[in-house]
Amino acid sequence: MHQPLIPLKTARRSRRGWKAAGIAFSIAIAVIAFIVLAHALKHIDLGRVHDAIWLTDRWRIALAAALVAASYGSLTLYDLLALHAIGRADVPYRIAALASFTSYPIAHGLGAVLPISTAIRYRIYSSHGLGAAEVAKICFLTGLTFWLGNLTAFGLSMLWEPDAIGLIDHLSDRLNQLLAAALLVAIAGYLGWTWSHARRVGHRLWSVKLPAGRTVLLQIGIGIVDLGCAALALYVLIPTGLHVEIPRVVVVFIAATLLGFLSHAPGGIGVFDATVLVGLDTDSKEPLVAALILFRLFYHLTPFTLALVMFGVREGWQSLRWRKSV
């Protein structure tokens, strides 16, 4: 009678084991990053950092702000594409944009991307007739767009600039290029697998139809534009005197973003910064630290604050409407 419970208990133990391993991995990334960051900042002159911030050209600041805006604008297409993929093209773009812009900065800023972004999306989309299963599918598909775009850009950048990532993973240029080629082959394989047939993952209510054919290319393109604009925002804030080239900034930026994401640290704090400082490896650290501070102001702090305000106003308005209707 109780025999069938054994596989269930085994599966639960296995899930707990994977979860514990994931937590340990995230903590390990964060601890290593903070040790590296402490070492990199050991001899930093804060006065020079302050001066570098105030001496940053105004046109660089304006261009970086515009690129960050473009990055977050392309981010709204993640949700719009996911809504079309699940057959909910009737949801207006403004709602998709609100769900995207509020969920990402808040979730990433608090360091719990999946639960917080899912909860925020559910609060917004549920008032437009979407259920929990549909919101879960949107989260899955937006995550798929993120990873397809990021990993494609990472593979291409690592092929072009393998020594930049070598400063982070301590592997040879040849091995990094082979890993990049393998990554791109895997993405090409996924593209071929989904090109002409409708593929599904999951089962029953939680079954998700994967985008196919040209839509996958669109996912990759949107992800690359989002990432490219963000990486360029950091690039334009770095003084030309440091002689840092765009491909190096892109590959290091992607690695820093992915490691920050895997660490689950709020805003990738420590992890993102340590990766950038190590990967760009400039003799003069103060201007680079100044560029990082300005970038964090534009890309993390400002969107996080705006998203909190927008979501708070939206929730307050919804609560007021509900009280009036009672």
pLDDT in tens, the chain (326 residues): 444 545 545 545 656 665 666 567 566 766 766 676 666 667 777 888 888 899 899 999 999 999 999 999 999 999 999 999 898 999 999 999 999 999 999 988 887 788 899 999 999 999 888 999 999 999 999 999 988 998 998 888 888 888 888 877 788 889 989 999 999 999 999 999 888 877 888 776 677 888 888 888 999 999 999 989 999 999 999 988 888 888 888 888 988 888 887 777 777 788 888 888 888 877 778 889 999 999 999 999 999 999 999 999 988 887 777 777 66
| 222 falls within a domain | yes
| 41 falls within a domain | no
Residue type at 15 in one-letter notation: R
Cα–Cα distances in angstroms (integers) from residue 30 to residues 27, 181, 270, 306, in the given order: 5, 28, 7, 27
User: What's residue 322's pLDDT?
Assistant: 74
| 325 falls within a domain | no
Q: Which candidate, 177, 279, 283, places its Cα nearest to that of 231? A: 279
Residue 275: give the domain boundaries: 46-315
User: What's residue 3's pLDDT?
Assistant: 46
The number of domains in the chain is 1
User: What's residue 15's pLDDT?
Assistant: 60
| 117 falls within a domain | yes
Contact 129, 320 (CB under 8 A): no
| 246 falls within a domain | yes
| 253 falls within a domain | yes
Residue 177: how many CB atoms within 10 A of its CB? 18
Contact 216, 191 (CB under 8 A): yes
The token pair that represents 109 in the structure block: 């800023």
User: What's residue 81's pLDDT?
Assistant: 93
| 35 falls within a domain | no
| 108 falls within a domain | yes
